[in-house]
Amino acid sequence: MDTIIYNNFKPQLLPPLGYLQADCGTGKSYQTIKQVIHHSRFNVQLVVCGKTDLLDQWERDLLAHGANNVIKAHYKTVAGNVNQHVTDTVLNYCYGNNTCEGVAGACPIILITFATLVNLNFTIPDYENPGEYLDINRAVRSQCHLWIDELPNLDEPRRVWAKNNPGEIKQWLKLDRKVSDCRTEANGKNIADSLHNVAAIDSSLLRHEMMTMGQHYHDKRPLLQSVLSRNETVYIKKSQWDLMNKRVKKKNDEDNGETYFISVLNKGLLSGWGSCTLISADFDRSKFFHWFKSSSFTPHNAIRSKLRNGGNHPPDLLKRVRIVYAMPDDEKRLNSANYLKSYGETLDKKFMREVEKIGQPFLLCTNTKRNEGREILDTEGCKVITSAEHGSNSFSDYNVLVFDCALRPEPKHEGILSTLGFDRGTLHTDMVLNALYQTACRTSIRNDSSSETVTIFCMERSSAFDLANRLSGASRGFAYIRHIDEQGYQPVVVGGDSGTSPESPNGHGKSACKSTTKPIFAPFDVGLERKEKFSLPHTKRCKFRNIPNKSITCENTVNLPATPDAVGAPCRRAGMTIFTHHNSRSPEFVKAGLLKQIRELREAAQQTVTDRNSEGYRFTPAIFKRAEGTQAKRDKASFSHAHMLVLDFDGNDKPNHRGSMTARDFVRVFNPGQKKKGKVKLSFAITNTFNTSDSNPYKFRVFVILSEPVTSPEQYRASVELIESHIVKAGFKDSGLDPMSKNAVQIYWMPCTNIQHKKHAFFETYNCSKNREIERHGLKPPKFESKPAHLPNDRPKVKTGFSVETVKANYLALTDNRRFGLKELGTRCATQGAMFPHEVERVLLSVVDRADCEMMKRVTDTMKQLENEIRWWK
């Protein structure tokens, strides 16, 4: 036995809820195995996998690393009831005489499937009350460590056919608490509906019935077991429940006799364990995370730091990856069963043509229903796999993958999940994009020692770009992507800070890619054209996750028109500018309707924050413009427009803030019951600030909605002064309004809830729930002639004799200290060559090795220095 792990291995302290997130193929399982073996000296270890093949893989690896008490429990290895076998084994070590803490292998490492975990229930007979059982789940769980390898399915459909005999269901189950109101399509009509929990009428009686007569319930058994499980919650729409009492003719029954339930995992699954660790590459991109995000998950950063490449893919991985997408660029639909039904044969012929050119065996990941009668299945070297092969190492010798799965949920399922708070973007990312990434990583991509070219065939263009971005890891690089009907691959920049237009690796400034005017990250955006729209680029850095999870689209300020004359009429889109960095140098224009902005501000205000500096991000209501060739700046000269005012109230300096306006006072003044002469009724939202507390009760913030945008900083100031005049008329001469609120480009922290002052958190809206209310009560800005913006116009003339090729040659002639020569090269290009920043950056990138991360960082640092030093750029 290898005793090195026991003697010299330094374990990590395990939090109650933790997760290890890292890219596929970086050694997550290896590091986890060492942790599991060490902690088995003190506690029972439960390792959970989705498939029995993975359990076999874990067993081999554990035994190879010296574990000597490994118990694999599933239907192939256990005769009888697997759940009872696991329960008895755990109880034997937790309550028996096998307590040998500190001895290697004293406690078992039990390998189980996820289905077994969900149904585990630790009880012992109550000898004082014969026939009764004592619930000891909390006591037993606290002595066990739980390790979940790859995220389980959060939700499962539970279909039953009970319309002809509803008593089979309703004699045991009942509608419980109403979760939410919703709408449902029925017989071509959109009707009011509601979503409810389902509970057992008598849990003890139903449990006894399932133990004695469960074999008679056939298709209803999974539903009844889910209702009884402490780890699952069952939901159904009331319209579906009511239809079980109505006999409907078969030709009029849209459900074909089916009643649709859905079971969703709840917090009972993860709570009570000595520790619970989730191991996945998709944790923060999953439905699982979205559902359990209120739980305090702790990242295992110490373990991640020991992984290969710090838990990221190798920087040069994209050099050997080729991605091909099959659906046309002008196709607005996403892949679906109906699309494959119409175009599946045509796509199969194209896939076969491409695979034959490569001449290697290939993996085909497709839907189970399409596993028969297809010509591509008979192609030599075809190996069919499912989209649930997460974590498997069995296919790492394959270099070609065809992924044509249609994984979108059916409308009934999606309708219930939507009512529970899952938007389409979250579902698409979890069910399609994550599945594509995980399946692609089953190939030789996960083998760092391989130098073979890997070709991935997928369906949508957006999926191809998302996959390329994930494979780039933490570095910026070129991905080679093409449509299946094109001949050559087009290199585009992905990863890192590639939120600008693609650049060519040849350094000539123009990309070989057709899509030079399109954003790097192609999005999932149902019903919207793909041009100029993509998901928020700061989703990975931002701790206020509710905003990026919504279907807001973001447009970098670099794409805004330079002046109103550049495109005719000025751009007046509603939005705000987000700053994800504390140095406020990376503005991102978030475009959304005013009503949606209010909803997102409300959801941000509900997020609890401990440290605002590390967890928060900032915004300004202003939208900025830029001149061609320059970066957008947060200054008055670049101000374009704003659709709302932000007012900060901080109290005054008088004792007890006498005369200061409170939040209630503001609501009373600007939301009078009836609009009277001299009174003003406004559309606004009012919320706490991070520092609102018992000692600072006069601190609050107001978002005043405008009926039309202000177009200059002076008009913004005049609008704030107009509100201030009404405050003074109401008797609040020292209202506590922060004078900086009159600054049109003032930056503010996003609303949030200070975890130390939760009782002071609030967010209320008035007269802004509908567009017509905003039109009626929105503040009309006073007329004010805006001054023209002073854009850079002092560009120097190009110095006689200046040549870009000459200064590049001088730099390349340096034999040492090239990193320091970059600044001199950039300075000469900007001053002698009169080049704009984007032109200088292009020159710098053309003389460095893009695979050298240190030099790429040096280019970025050099550009920041030049932006501060080149006077005419300002």
Q: Measure the CA–CA gap between 450 and 183, rounded to whole angstroms.
A: 52
Nearest to 279 by CA among 296, 265, 300, 295: 300
| Distance of alpha carbon 737 from alpha carbon 652, whole angstroms | 8
How many contiguous H segments (helices) and E segments (strands) does the chain have? 27, 33
Q: Residue 580: CB partners within 8 Å, gap ≥ 6?
A: 538, 541, 542, 586, 588, 617
Q: How far is CA 147 from the centre of its chain?
A: 23
What was the pLDDT predicted at 734?
83
HSE of 701 in the Cβ direction (CA atoms, 13 Å)?
24
Residue 96's pLDDT is what? 59
Task: Write down the pLDDT at residue 373.
Answer: 85
- Which pLDDT tens digit goes with each residue over 794-842? 678 888 888 888 888 888 877 776 667 888 888 888 888 888 887 888 8
| pLDDT, tens digit (0-9, with 9 covering 90-100), for 596-623 | 888 888 888 888 887 776 666 788 898 8
- Per-residue pLDDT tens for 89-142? 888 887 655 544 444 456 899 999 998 898 888 887 777 777 677 888 888 888
- β pairing state of 684-687 and 763-766: antiparallel
pLDDT at position 184, please?
87
User: Rounded to an integer, what distance in angstroms lies between the CA atom of residue 281 and that of residue 21?
Assistant: 5
Distance, CA of 524 to chain centre: 12
C-alpha to C-alpha distance for 238 and 197, rounded to whole angstroms: 10
At 631 the pLDDT is 60
Predicted confidence at residue 623, as pLDDT, reads 87
642's CB contacts (< 8 A; 6+ apart) are 621, 622, 623, 706, 709, 710, 716, 744
The SS3 call for residue 806 is helix
At residue 863, φ and ψ (nearest 5 deg) are -65, -40
Estimate to the nearest angstrom the gap between the alpha carbon of 557 and the chain centroid: 23
User: What distance separates the 2 farthest-apart alpha carbons in the chain?
Assistant: 102
Give me the DSSP letters along 85-117.
Answer: HHHHHHHHHHHSS---TTSTTSS-EEEEEHHHH
Which pLDDT value is given to residue 809?
83
Positions in the chain short of pLDDT 50: 1-9, 99-104, 497-571, 582-584, 786-793
Q: What is the pTM of this model?
A: 0.59
Position 587 scores a pLDDT of 64
Q: Which residue, 668, 769, 646, is CA-closest to 717?
A: 646
Q: What is the pLDDT of residue 589?
A: 67
| Per-residue tokens: 331 | 């196709």
What is the structure's pLDDT at 551? 32
The pLDDT value given to residue 254:
64
Buried b (16+ CB within 10 A) or exposed e, 338-374: ebbeebbeebbeebbebbeeeeebbbbbbeeebeeeb
Q: What does the pLDDT read at residue 841?
A: 83
The pLDDT score that the predictor gives to residue 783 is 79
Distance CA 723, CA 666 (A): 11
